[in-house]
Every structure is written in structure tokens, then in C-alpha cells.
Amino acid sequence: MAVSKFYLGYKQLSKAVFEWEAADRTALLAAFMVIEVFSHWLWCLFVWYRRDIYSNYVDITLLYPLWILVSMVGVFLLWMSSRFSPVRNAKSNLYTWQAILITIYSAYITFVITILGHSSLVTGVSLVGGAMLGMMLISRRYVWRAFVGQIIAILAVTLFPYFGITLPNLRQMIATTLPPNIHSYVTYNEMAMMKDATAATVLPNGRLNWDSVNYLRQSSNLLWRSTHIYMSLPKAIFIIYMFRTLLVILDDSRKETLQHANQDELTQLKNRRYGLMQMKQALVSIERAQDFSVILLDLDWFKDINDSYGHDIGDRVLVTVAQALLQSLTDDAIVSRYGGEEFLIVLPDTKHDSAMVIAEQLRLSIADQTIVVDDNTTFNVTASLGLYTLTHDERHCIKHTCEKLSQTESGYQFKKPQVSKSNSERADKKVDTVELPQDICQRLICMADKALYNAKGLGRDKVVSANEMLKAGDTKIESLYSN
């Protein structure tokens, strides 16, 4: 991962971040921290550079130790995010370094918040943002401890002045002074309403002019307000971006999990469970006058193919057949891999004769497929198909029998089948609200299976209809609900 990430675009990169190794993610977290600390360093540089103006309301003697601390932490973080970082050294204990990184960062942020004069904006974003980023990228247990430690430290430094301990800060304010004095964030409107002489200079007649803008630009209010926004905003935006990325990844992985749960890995067809589920839904949403056909298709002599050419070639046959089925059928058909070399094809709204034509086309299209083993060896594969069509008459008959039996509390147990919302909406008023027995799908497949068995007995590579077997009075088959 560490190598390939450099070849990814930034979108894939942000997704791939969560799959990186722990060491890479720790180094990335350190890199994020470097960016934040560097922005603090730039702020120190800016205030120092304009010390002629800002020395009026920034304690410049305190700025120097802050600047030294920021530089030291910056160097430490640069080292942690670099190629020479101990987190990348297999021999060093990664988790210990993660704990050190998080602890130093937490102490640093607490210090910065204290020295800036307790800004709730910076405190909130740093606390929540730092914890979130940390939990996304490294071992959660260290981040939790550091998070709790940071809350305790911030609470402590906020409460110290109430016990008579004065902590120096750049704004030279005492934390126990009333909140309006601590923050002194005065809006333009409030200024306009102020009656004192300063306000009159800043906003003559309550209106801003270029002189007053210049005055405000250099005022303590504006400096501290912009400082807090400057220190919080980039981190807040970045965290929102990371959170969004995380949600997109979760969404994608949910889709992927669903796909794996419903799909056969080899043939990419629906798997047996999902095929049966869709068959049930199709039966529920069937309209009054519709017939419903089921085909069971089994490859002939498949064991021999495996034995002669190996399992890989056997697998390739399965994939080729699956593709042939998909190409030959319309989107309405439900095709699934029912078993090893068995496929279930459900044709909702298809009458018996049409289903026979489709089954015959499927047989021919499979027989047309040539499997190439090597330059000198090719072979063709055939399939046998069994078909059963549930006519709408038979369906109504089953329903009425079922209703009678359920009234006498004997026979089949009925339960209203679950209808998916989309299917029920689509079917509208014409949907037959038949309550079919729960085992109807298995019984239909069983009828198709009997026809398939007959096709095998007749020499394979054939389509046999269970309906026709019944009509001909074949003793090998009984009607759908004869027992």
C-alpha cells in the first residue's frame, strides 16, 4: 500500500488511506498535525512581524516562548511524519510511538488554548477534531485516553484562576473577568450603538469608512477573532472532508457486501438464495392473467469435463454458460446459479409455449459454445432443461383450495408472502392478492426438476416440459399439490 498510494489520484487516495498499514496512517496523522502546527508558526511570525501594532494587545514577551514551543513540536511532528520516523521502523514499538504522538499533541493544544486566552472555538474544534482524526487513523484506545486527558487538562487550566493561580496568556486577560471582557468580540452594530469616544472615531455617524476599516483591522477584537477562526477553520473543514470520505467508504463497502451476499462469485449470476428470493417476489407481484414459468438447467456430463480437463476448465465452462444465458434472456428473466452445474431460470409472465421456445433457444445457444482447452483441443458442452409453467388458472385453483383448507384449519399453513415495496408499487391494482403456500417455489422447482430428470433419461441435450408429462399421463410425475 505504501508504494502504490503515490500512483493514486487524490479521490482514490483518500479512500485508500483507511486501508493503509498502521505505520503509514500514524505518519499521515503526524503530517496533518504538522500542517496545523505550521499554521500556528505562521501566526507567530505574522504577529512578531507587525509587533509595532500588535504589541499593544499581544504580550510579545510571551510570544517568544510560544514560538519556540511551536517550532519544537513542529520539528518533532516533521520527524514523526518523515521517512526516518520511528513508526516506520519495524523494530520500534509502533503503539508506544502512537501514544507519545497523541500525548504530545494533546499537551500542545492545551497549552496553545491556554496561552491564546481560552477560545471556545479553538478548544471545541481541537478537542473534537483531533479525537475524530486520531480515531480514524490510529489505534482508538490511545486517542480515547488522550482525549479524556485533554478535557481534564483544559478544565484544569480554565479553573486554575478561580483558585488564585494566574496563568499568563497573550491577551493579558484574567480568566475570571466576566465573559464579555474575556472575549471582547464586539460587533459593528454594537460599536455603532456604543456611546463612548472610541466608537465615535471608529464608526462616525454609525457608518464604516476606510479609516474605520483600517482601525478595526488593527483592533484587538479583529485580531483575536480572526486568530480563532484562522486556527479552527482549516482543521474543521479538513475533518468534515475526512468524515464525508469515511461515510462514502462505508456506503461503498455496504454495497459491496450486499453484492457479495447476493452474487455467485464464479459466474457473477445471482446466487441460489437471492435467486429464490427474487422468484418469491416475482410470484407475489404477479398479475391476474399471467402465467409463470420455471426452467431448471443442468449441464451434461460435467463431472467428465472436470475429470478430463481439470477444474479450471470446468469453471470456465460454468462462466461461459452463465454468459450465454444472460445474453439469450431478457432483463425480465431471473437467472441464478442454483447449484454446482445447475441454473434456475424464472420467466415471470411467460406462457408455456413461449417458455418452451426460450428453453430450446437456451439449449441451442449453450451447444453453440466452443470451449478452447489448448491449440489442439476444443469441445462443446450440452445441457438438459426441465420446465414447468404455473398457469394463472392453476394458481387460482391453488389459492381457493388453500383458502378452504385454511378455513377448516387443516392442510397447508398459509402466511401472507412478504412483498417488496417496489414490486407492490409496480404491480398496482391489477396485482393478484393470492396468498400462495410458502413452499410454492420449492414445489415449482421440484416439478421442473422431474422434467429435467426425464430429459437426462432421454439421452440429455433435451428440453422436457413437466406440463406435457402431466398431460400425457406420465406416471413419473404428479400434479403440483398432489400430496
Q: Which residues pair with 344 in a beta bridge?
A: 296, 336
Instruction: Give min distance, CB of 380 to ligand GTP, in A.
Output: 14
138 vs 318, which CB is nearer to ligand GTP? Answer: 318
SS3 labels along 243-296: HHHHHHHHHHHHHHHHHHHHECCCCCCECHHHHHHHHHHHHHCCECCCCEEEEE
Instruction: Give min distance, CB of 469 to ligand GTP, in A.
Output: 19
Instruction: Give min distance, CB of 361 to ligand GTP, in A.
Output: 21
Q: Which residues pair with 334 in a beta bridge?
A: 346
The cell numbers describing 139, all together, are 489505534
316 vs 399, which CB is nearer to ligand GTP? Answer: 316
Instruction: Give min distance, CB of 340 to ligand GTP, in A.
Output: 3
251 vs 315, which CB is nearer to ligand GTP? Answer: 315
For residue 431, give the DSSP letter: B
Instruction: Give min distance, CB of 280 to ligand GTP, in A.
Output: 25
Instruction: Give min distance, CB of 11 to ligand GTP, in A.
Output: 36
Instruction: Give min distance, CB of 302 to ligand GTP, in A.
Output: 3
Q: Any idea what the Cα angle at residue 359 is, between residues 357 and 363, rounded to 5°?
A: 115
- Residue ranges in contact with ligand GTP by CB under 6 A: 266, 298-304, 306, 311, 314-315, 318, 340-341, 456, 460
State phi, psi for 234 to the nearest 5 degrees: -55, -40
**Are 300 and 381 a contacting pair, CB within 8 Å?**
yes
Helix or strand holding residue 452 (H, E): helix 440-457
SS3 category, 330? coil
Q: Which residues of 176-196 are buried (b: 16+ CB within 10 A; e: fewer)?
A: eeeeeebbbebeeeebbeeee
Instruction: Give min distance, CB of 295 to ligand GTP, in A.
Output: 16
140 vs 260, which CB is nearer to ligand GTP? Answer: 260
125 vs 318, which CB is nearer to ligand GTP? Answer: 318
Q: Burial-class residue 11 by CB neighbours within 10 Å (0-12, 13-18, 19+).
A: exposed
**Are 364 and 298 a contacting pair, CB within 8 Å?**
no
317 vs 436, which CB is nearer to ligand GTP? Answer: 317
284 vs 313, which CB is nearer to ligand GTP? Answer: 313
Could you please report the per-residue DSSP string of 145-196? Answer: HHHHHHHHHHHHHHHGGGGTPPPP-TT---TTS-HHHHH----HHHHHH--S
306 vs 406, which CB is nearer to ligand GTP? Answer: 306
